[in-house]
Amino acid sequence: MSEYTLDARNSLCPMPVIKTQNKVNELEAGDILTVTCTDPGALNDIPAWCRINGHEVVETCEHGSEVIIRIRVGDA
C-alpha cells in the first residue's frame, strides 16, 4: 500500500474527476490517493465517481478555499 497525492487545484469540474480517475487507474488496490481541489463541486463529483467505480472515500475536508479528498483505491 502506498500513499499518493494529486493536485487538481484551479481546474473546474469535471476536470478534477478526470484527473482523479486517470491517476487511480495507475494505482493498485489499497493505495491511498489524496486529491486537493479548489472547485467545491469536486466534493460531490469525486465521491460519486468513487461510489460508481468501487473506490472508497476515506475522508473529505475543506481548508479555506481548498477541498481535500482521500481515496482508498478499490480492486474493481
Catalytic residues: 13
Which segment (26-34, 50-58, 66-74) binds other proteins by CB under 8 A? 50-58
For the chain, what's the residue count? 76
Q: Counting contacts by CB under 8 A, is residue 10 touching other proteins?
A: yes
For residues 39, 41, 47, 18, the Cα torsion angle rounded to the nearest 10 degrees is -60
Which range in 29-37, 48-56, 66-74 contacts other proteins by CB under 8 A?
48-56
The rounded distance, in Å, linking the Cα atoms of 4 and 46 is: 16
Q: Is 18 in the site for other proteins (CB under 8 A)?
A: yes
